[in-house]
Structure formats: C-alpha cells, structure tokens
Amino acid sequence: MTASTSSRRLREIAALTAAAVALSVAAPLASATAAERATSTMPGTAVAAEAETGLDALESLDEETAFAGLEEALQIISDIPEEVLAQGQEATEQWLKQRLGDTAGEGRIQPMKFDAGGCARGILLAVGSNVLAIGKIYKVKKAIDNLGGIKKVVKKIQDKKKRGKKSFKKAIMEVFEESGTGLGAIAAEILGVDQVIKNCW
C-alpha cells in the first residue's frame, strides 16, 4: 500500500473532526492565529474537556515516568522542522511517519517501535485525525525555544509541581503561559489529546 493511501486512511478516520479545524490546518502559518481564533469560538468545550481528562491521567503515574513521557512528547514537537509545518498536515504526517520508520503492510503504523516511535505515533494519529491544528504545534514548538529548550521547560514544570503542589495540567499551563498569552491552554490541549497520552506515556 502506498504512502498516499496510508495518508488517505488517516484522513478518513478523522472525518468527524475535520470541519472544526480545517481552516487552521489549511491556512499558512502566517494566518494560523486568526484560524485558531475562529475555531476557538466554536464549541471548544469538548476539546478542553479531552485535554483535562488526558492530563489528569498523569497524576496516577510515578513522577519519573510522567516527566520522561512529557520530555519525549515535547522533543517530538520540537524536532518537527518549521518548513515541514509550513507545508501543512500532509507534509507533517509524512515527516512523523519517517520518524517512526517502517509502516505495517496494511497502512498501519508498526506498533513495535514504542521507545523512540510510540510518542511520534501518538502525535501522528492526533495530527492525522485533525485534532491538532498545525498552527498550534508550531506555536508550542516556538514556545519551547523561547523558554530555553526542552530540559528547561521540563525543569520549570517540575519546580512548579514541587513548590505549589500543582497538578501536571496547571504546571504545564503556567510554564507555557510565560511564553505568551494563550500558550498554556494550547500546550495543555496538545499534550492532553487521548492519542498523545496513550502513546507518549
């Protein structure tokens, strides 16, 4: 099965959610902010609830596992080249597939590569189902750079959790909010997506 057929299958799975974010996926990065503003005025409570539920699941993990998964998820996001994100959803999917390595015979991603590839697989599934707008991934990627890199971001989240006895969600939101208004909610939304939680942790 060809790569284009595999991409088509991922898009078909996402038919129910595609309409809500189609504008921000199709728009160039320059207009990503406007597109996200448009989608945020639509019924966003379901997405917010999904993010909250997802990140709440981290509270049941030991801290070492939780922070290792967080670092891996942020690393995958940070590694996606800007020029790939600028080309949109399909190019981003292809890059993530290459990061994963081989695909299974019937267009499914190999389930074996969980150490290096499991998290990329989760982000790929989320991107392929249009749950994540490419512009939002771009913003989180830039925020990681602005905050000093992945290690510093994770350390800041650890510090906030220790000092204030905060939840993972609150600590993540507060740290990313330091890089710009609204970025805390965007980071929590991306990291809290069901497919990301299941595959990165």
Q: How many CA atoms lie within 13 A of 126 on its CB side?
A: 30
CA–CA dist 138, 77 (Å, integer): 8
Cβ atoms of 176 and 184 within 8 Å: the answer is: yes
Q: Could you tell me the pLDDT band of residue 18, with boundaries at 50, 70 and 90?
A: very low
Asked if pLDDT for residue 12 goes beyond 60, the answer is: no
pTM higher than the cut 0.75: no
SS3 103: strand
Give CB contacts under 8 A, 24+ apart, made by 90-99.
90/7, 92/127, 92/134, 92/137, 93/7, 93/10, 93/124, 93/127, 93/128, 94/3, 94/7, 96/120, 96/121, 96/123, 96/124, 96/127, 97/3, 97/6, 97/124
Longest Cα–Cα distance of the chain, Å, equals 52
CA–CA dist 200, 69 (Å, integer): 5
Residue 38: alpha-carbon gap to chain centroid: 19
Asked if pLDDT for residue 182 goes beyond 60, the answer is: yes
Asked if pLDDT for residue 183 goes beyond 70, the answer is: yes
Instruction: Give me the pLDDT at residue 43, please.
Output: 40
Helix (H) or strand (E) segment spanning residue 177 = helix 168-177
Listed in sequence order, the residues at least 6 apart from 187 whose beta carbon sits closer than 8 Å to its beta carbon are 140, 143, 172, 173, 176
Reported as a single tens digit per residue, the pLDDT across 135-151 is 999 999 999 999 999 99
Reported as a single tens digit per residue, the pLDDT across 98-113 is 888 744 434 444 443 3
Neighbours of 114 (CB within 10 A): 11
Instruction: Give me the pLDDT at residue 95, please.
Output: 93
